Amino acid sequence: MSVRVTVTEDAECELKNKLSVNRWPLASLQLMVTGGCDRAVRLWARYVTSGPVATLRGHRATVLDVAVYRPAGQILSYSRDAELKVWDISTHRCLKTLRLPFPCLQPGHIPEHGGFPFLLLRPPLPQATQPHLLVACKDYLAVLQLSETRRGVAALTCALYNPTLKEVAAGRADSSVSLWDVTTGRRRLHILNAHGEAELTCMTLDSSHRRLITGARNGTIKVWSLLNGLNLHKLEPVAGSEVSALTCVPGSKVLAVGWSQRIAQYDVTADLKVKADMSWKSRGVHRADVLAVCPCPALGVVATASYDGEIVVWRLDVQGPLLHLRRQSLQLVFCLGLKRLFPAGRFYAPEEPGRCVPCLSSDQPENAVLVSGSTAGRLQVWDISRYALDTLVKINPNAARSWTAHEAPLACAEVLELSERLLVFTASVDGSAGLWTASGVPVGLFGRQDAWIFSSGYYIFRQNNAGDSAEEMTQREVKGHVSDSTDHGQTSQEKCFLQGKCSASLHAADTHSHTLTA
């Protein structure tokens, strides 16, 4: 059987083998996809040479051809029995199985196919031409139109790290909440329909880190137990308007801001249904929707930022405004080393013009590192240990690292410390959440079975293909170190490693987690 290998830009060669091979020529992901007589589809990465990074099973006959469709993030595979399967390249789930009804198909007979039945037509195409797939069987041709966007994975809209329980929480546009163990990458808890059908917009932890507070686009706010996923409190909405940000302040109080342009306070030690306390002197202070809120208990203040670029610093004791600043802000972060409340440094973080920075985080309380995430999906790590301590500066601090974490805008980028290592947790609107070392090495994507194990500053990757026994499961110990990856992001091998090696299971890996419906 003849094999065609599609290589990066122009090169194409013919090999003799019993496989059908297709390679995805992406700067961010270099994978080779193969299918053959054993009815399995395998994903291979140049960065991992010990074996396939994933094995996709489900075909009942020899796999004749495979293709990778980038716009939707999908793998297409076709078997001799005229069965077409669509796989999600991130989760490795089978999204759809199609039995193509060719007129030449007869019960008990194997249909005739050419060497490569697929022809994937994708951009650049003539204007108004939708990408489509051609499948040939004997004298017949099937034409399938392809979607130009990814489906099946709801966007991540908010996320955070819980240092007490060593887990990350993420909320999605489909109103679901997932809790993942940061030491293994596996899911601990899954809450469905947390706010009905309303999209989650923000979340925060209470002072004990045992409860999660979530806000939604319909204005509802709920408090959840992180131990069992039960809904403990329902907080009264303010005028039914969207909640943009939440934070917890001393005294078990929760502050909520949003399209109401005011600050609402809640006492989460009260009954199941908690009424909003509107005692803050916030009426008319902000003249646009409030997008962010961040407390600094050490200084006894909290800051809010609105859509029109105004930042207001409030005193916690009198619940009134202290200072007004004019800066366009989507996110706020307090550095605990501040000794004054006026601008000390200002710089433009994104590497591309016209981009925004929706994510900021620092390694508090040291405040030596600042991490920024952009709408281009890029992460930047800045050295702020000596930045703007004495005088006003307008130059960028030293950029220690810069790399592309996701292909879509970031919803969260948070610095955390685990096993005496500094890590960065990211979540993107493409539906994926990942973990990185501060030097830019990808640890893995959350939601994969046995993706990694942390131990004494090292992390061990565990690859477990479907059907493998415990004895056949391979492990690799990797030191979290990489050479300088500042130059236009990480290397293609590292990106491949993130989306390949860390995808350890074929099935939805979260088989040992609990799923709840609110």
pLDDT in tens, 112-130: 776 667 777 765 655 545 6
Last residue of a domain, one of 145, 179, 195: 145
Same domain, 286 and 229: yes
Same domain, 135 and 163: no
Same domain, 260 and 175: yes
Residue 518 resides in a domain: no
Same domain, 141 and 160: no
Same domain, 180 and 326: yes
Query: What is the model's pLDDT at position 248?
Result: 94
Residue 514 resides in a domain: no
Parent domain of 486: 156-499
How many domains are contained in the chain?
A: 2
CA atoms within 13 A on the CB side of 418: 29
Same domain, 288 and 206: yes
Same domain, 140 and 270: no
Give average pLDDT by consecutive 10-residue segment, the chain, 518 residues.
Answer: 34 35 47 88 81 89 87 85 86 83 75 73 59 80 69 82 95 92 91 89 94 94 93 88 92 92 90 90 92 89 90 93 73 46 58 80 85 90 79 70 90 90 92 91 79 64 42 32 35 35 31 46
For the stretch 258-281, what's the b/e string if a residue is b when 16 or more beta carbons lie within 10 angstroms of its beta carbon? bbbbbbbbbebeeeeebebbeebe
Residue 225 resides in a domain: yes
Instruction: Residue 22: name the closest of 70, 72, 60, 82 by CA.
Output: 70
The total number of residues shown for the chain amounts to 518
Query: What is the model's pLDDT at position 179?
Result: 95
Same domain, 324 and 347: yes
pLDDT in tens, 420-443: 889 999 999 889 999 999 888 888
Residue 437 resides in a domain: yes
Kindly state the tokens that stand for 361.
Answer: 């985080």
Query: What is the model's pLDDT at position 229?
Result: 92
Same domain, 200 and 92: no
Same domain, 90 and 196: no
Same domain, 127 and 164: no
Rounded to two decimals, the pTM is 0.63
Residue 151 resides in a domain: no
Residue 516 resides in a domain: no
What sections of 251-354 are H helices per DSSP? none
Same domain, 485 and 420: yes
Query: What is the model's pLDDT at position 13?
Result: 32
The CATH number linked to 167 is: 2.130.10.10
